[in-house]
Amino acid sequence: MRRDVEILPEKKREPSASERAQIGDRLCDEGRVEDAIIHYRRAVQMEGNNAQFRERLGDAYAYSDNSVKAVAEYRRALRLSPRRAAPHFGLAEVYRRYGKLGAAVTEYRKAVQYNPLNPFYRYKLGDALAQTGLMDEAVLNLEIAVQVAETDGFYHFWLADLYAVAGRIGDAIIEMQQATMFAPRDAYYNLRLGMLYLRAGYIQDGVAALERAVRLKPHDPAYHAILADAYTHQGSVQKAHHHYRKAGEMDAYDCANLDRMRRQSADGQS
């Protein structure tokens, strides 16, 4: 007599630690950080000695403003892999966010030590050093970043910014020209180039760069006001009046932004 055989459903396989981490990466990309943390934590539970998984968990905690847990995971990652650059960088970012600039510089330096060809690490170190007044070392790190990523306008821009703060206006102009060459549609780069030209006394070049900036960002009242200032300096009164009218009534944010940019134009301070 035939008996029916009961077929049990196949038990679903749990994702591996690597698969868990990949799911966490995807969820982070989608902005679902809390969900990502669940998968990173499971990956760490499955492979507790994997420094990369702990680093990613630390990144997720940092992104969700859980600094205590972020720091703990970065330190665990470094105990497993002391020469790993990314956890040092993660620590630096957390320290800087909470005002511990000296500790941040220490960790940025370690990140650069273990990954010297990462231009973003160099930029962040240079920016932090500039805030502490160590301008020579700051400039050196941005110069290296530019050498490593020579076609990226971002690094040329920030090197130009440091040169301007240091009073090296000629060098600042050269780097800002490079920034606009590699990112020609960046309105702010063109604006800052125009302001540097004006500071150096190159009025026509300054006006031309500011005109480009306004064409790229025609609805920003502060841009129109800066261009109007340049026209006034040039003696083009009608053009100046036109752009002052374009600037129109500015809210508190626009006024503060304009005041900041005028100070930059006058003294080069970021």
At 5 the pLDDT is 56
Phi-psi region of 11 (alpha: psi -120 to 50; beta: other; left: phi over 0): beta
Please report, for the domain that includes residue 250, its CATH number: 1.25.40.10
Q: How far is 2 from 6, CA to CA, in rounded Å?
A: 13
What 163-172 contacts at long range (C-beta under 8 Å, 24+ apart), as own/partner pairs, is 163/139, 164/196, 164/199, 164/264, 164/268, 164/270, 165/130, 165/135, 165/268, 165/269, 165/270, 166/135, 166/139, 167/268, 169/196, 169/199, 169/200, 169/268, 170/200, 172/196, 172/268
pLDDT in tens, 217-263: 999 999 999 999 999 989 999 999 999 998 887 777 777 777 777 77
Within a domain: 135: no
Q: How far is 247 from 258, CA to CA, in rounded Å?
A: 10
Report whether 53 contacts 21 (CB < 8 A): yes
Within a domain: 4: no
Within a domain: 204: yes
pLDDT in tens, 135-168: 999 999 999 999 999 999 999 999 999 999 999 9
Within a domain: 237: yes
At 257 the pLDDT is 72
At 4 the pLDDT is 57
Within a domain: 246: yes
Q: What confidence category does residue 176 fall into, taking pLDDT thresholds of 50, 70 and 90?
A: very high
Within a domain: 133: no
Within a domain: 56: no
- How many domains does the chain fold into? 1
- Please determine, for residue 133, whether its predicted confidence score (pLDDT) is greater than 60: yes
Express as a percent the part of the chain with pLDDT over 90. Answer: 73
Could you list the residue range(s) of the whole structural domain that residue 238 is in?
A: 186-270
Give phi and psi for 265, each to the nearest 5. -65, -35
Mean of pLDDT over the chain: 91
Q: What confidence category does residue 108 fall into, taking pLDDT thresholds of 50, 70 and 90?
A: very high
Q: What confidence category does residue 91 fall into, taking pLDDT thresholds of 50, 70 and 90?
A: very high
pLDDT in tens, 36-56: 899 888 998 888 889 999 999
Within a domain: 128: no
Q: What Å distances lie between residue 7 and 4, 11, 44, CA to CA? A: 9, 12, 35
- Please determine, for residue 75, whether its predicted confidence score (pLDDT) is greater than 60: yes
